[in-house]
Amino acid sequence: MSRTMLETQKIRSIPDVARELLELIGEDPNRRGVKKTPERFARAISELAGGYNQDIDALINGAIYPAEGNTGLVLVKDISFHSLCEHHLLPFSGKVSVAYLPNEKIIGLSKIPRIVQVFSRRLQLQERLTNQIAQTVEAKLNPLGVGVLIKGRHMCLEMRGAKATGSEMITSAYLGKIKDCPTTRAEFLNLINR
């Protein structure tokens, strides 16, 4: 069975599940306002979980270049992301900052936000997301160091349970020289806070 055919079958079955969910919470799935909700939900969840179907190498598409003597940090900060908490299927979102210390290679500027998007478009934990981004940059560039810092707001924390409105979760991952050298790590954190 082809991938496209399998994806189409998944999309066709998601509306059935959404209709059942509407019924289970006490809603009439035939009510005018929600009649098209199951199909809309199927398209939305397919987009929000689209990272499972993306290949990092295809996304990078050869956009790795010689560093040409660049010895300073390369930082892309405040990359917006949206994801779904794997425990509650509720959204969490925020900003990601990614830095690397080039060794012999650099990557096209747009590829770092795209890497963030691939991993955030899956059911996630912020801790795992942070590490996946750092490990991917390290694997593709073999830099001297990598730093990733994520600030996120989680609707599972704000809308239910503790109802901790406005709280923020911060996670970080440091590899290589950014982990081992306090001066380089401090430079990364100072650049983020500018």
* Position 19, amino acid: R
DSSP assignment string, the chain: --HHHHHHHHHHHHHHHHHHHHHHTT--TTSTTTTTHHHHHHHHHHHHTGGGG--HHHHHTT-EEE-TT--S-EEEEEEEEEEEETTT--EEEEEEEEEEE-SSEEE-TTHHHHHHHHHHSSEE-HHHHHHHHHHHHHHHH--SEEEEEEEEEEHHHHTSTT--TT--EEEEEEEEHHHH-HHHHHHHHHHHT-
For 94, the token pair is 């925020």
Active-site amino acid positions? 85-88, 126, 154, 156
